[in-house]
Amino acid sequence: MMTIKRTIYLASIASAVILCLMILFRNAQSELFTSLSFLLAGTIFYTLLYVLYKTDRFRQPGWWRTFEYVFFGLSIPLLVTGIELTSEQGHWVSDLFGGLLAIIILYLVGTRGFRFYQRIAELRNEKAKAELVNLKHQVNPHFFFNALNALYSLITKDPVQAQAYVLKLSELMRFSVYEGGKAKVTLGEEIAFLRNFAELNADRYQKTVDVIFEESIEDTSKEIVPLLLIMLMENAFKHGVEKLTEEAFVRVKIDQKGNQLHFEIRNNIPPGAEMNTSGLGLKNLRRRLEISYPGDGHHLEISINNDVYCVQLSLVV
């Protein structure tokens, strides 16, 4: 079977031989030089046409694609020949052939260019999707390891509470595995996941953690990229609650109206502590936002005032 690489290789050899013959007979006043010129043009033309055909047929197989290229392969040489035969007579048929040839060439170049542009767009989209999947998988799993350790100690101390703890943990893991793989989940599902995450986190600390949710949701069926807000919640516990010995708090405020979603999370940090606003987690979040909510689709703002770390995120949903 003739491959594209082999076809180009053979066509290159044939073109080189024809070109050498044309150079050899360049001064000859005969039909040989003209015939060699046509032969060279035909070799290059049919090689390019074959490469385009094989590429197109591989991506979009079908009888129409074959018919289209057979039409190009027959019509273009016939029209060129027709123009050559009628041009010296100044006949209107020559102009007609020229117009038809221009239309066919424009169609060929235009459709191939459009398909090439489509393919580039598809590749960019596939690359973005693959990167997004990779970023989702980078959601820090340290919480689950810590949760299992807390469960181990809880089993011996309070078996009843341990059972409730297991149910919450299994729900979180189910959401992460099954819902987290989807392109979008409902806002209601994402908020329920955040609540479970906050409750489970608060339960595993041997201290009082004040967690408050404020919600003003107009439509819980609005969709959002899953496991997006959890990064901010995780940071609040990891860099705030874990570092404090007492009076730790996390305040979550979620407002949704129309296609606008505003998420705000505040947590206190140890006095004088410096928060890293460019860590791996936040870089991950920013990249996911750029892919899923490009341009004006999102706005992220981070601030620290009076030992309170605040993150505000606005999305178009």
Q: Does 298 lie in the same domain as 253?
A: yes
pLDDT at 139 over 60: no
**Structural domain ending residue among the three candidates 84, 113, 136:** 136
CB 280 within 8 A of CB 289: no
Give me the pLDDT at residue 196, please: 87
- Based on the fold, state whether residues 155 and 199 are members of the same structural domain: yes
Measured in residues, the chain has a length of: 317
* Residues 45 and 82 placed together within one structural domain of the fold: yes
Give the model's confidence band at 129: pLDDT under 50 very low, under 70 low, under 90 confident, else very high. low
Q: What is the average pLDDT across 126-143?
A: 59
Predicted pLDDT at 266: 94
| In a shared domain, residues 312 and 190 | yes
Band of pLDDT at residue 59, cut at 50, 70 and 90: low
59 and 146 belong to one structural domain? no
Go through 82-121 and write b for each residue having 16 or more CB atoms within 10 A of its CB, e for each that does not: bbeebeeeeeeebeebbebbeeeeeebeeeeeeeeeeeee
If residue 15 lies in a helix (H) or strand (E), which one and from where to where? helix 4-24
The answer to whether residue 253 scores a pLDDT higher than 90 is: yes
pLDDT for 138 beyond 70? no
Question: Which residues span the domain enclosing 31?
Answer: 4-136
Q: Same domain, yes or no, for 311 and 168?
A: yes
142 pLDDT more than 70: no
State the total domains in the chain.
2
Mean pLDDT on 114-131: 70
Q: Please state, for a pLDDT cut of 70, what percent of the chain lies above it.
A: 86
| Cα-Cα-Cα-Cα dihedral sign, residues 173, 179, 182, 184 | negative
* Residues 277 and 205 grouped into a single domain: yes
Domain boundary (136, 155, 172) is at 136
CATH code: domain of residue 188: 3.30.565.10
Asked whether residue 165 falls in the same domain as residue 243, the answer is: yes
The answer, yes or no, to whether residue 64 has pLDDT greater than 60, is yes
The per-residue pLDDT for 218 is: 93
Sign of CA dihedral 177, 178, 184, 190: negative
Q: What is the pLDDT of residues 105-118, one digit of tens each?
A: 888 788 777 777 77
Pick from 36-50, 160-174, 257-271, 283-297 the range whose average pLDDT is largest: 257-271
Same domain, 121 and 174: no
Residue 1: pLDDT band (50, 70, 90) is low
d(CA 47, CA 55): 12
Last residue within a domain, chosen from 112, 136, 160: 136
For residues 125 and 182, state if they share a domain.
no
Q: What is the pLDDT of residue 61?
A: 63
60 pLDDT exceeds 70? no
Statement to judge: residues 257 and 186 lie in one domain: yes
Closest CA to 227 of 267, 197, 248, 247: 197
pLDDT digit string (tens) for 199-241?
888 877 777 889 999 999 999 999 998 888 888 888 888 888 8
- In degrees and rounded to multiples of 5, residue 183 shows phi and psi of -70, -40
Q: Are 107 and 143 in the same domain?
A: no
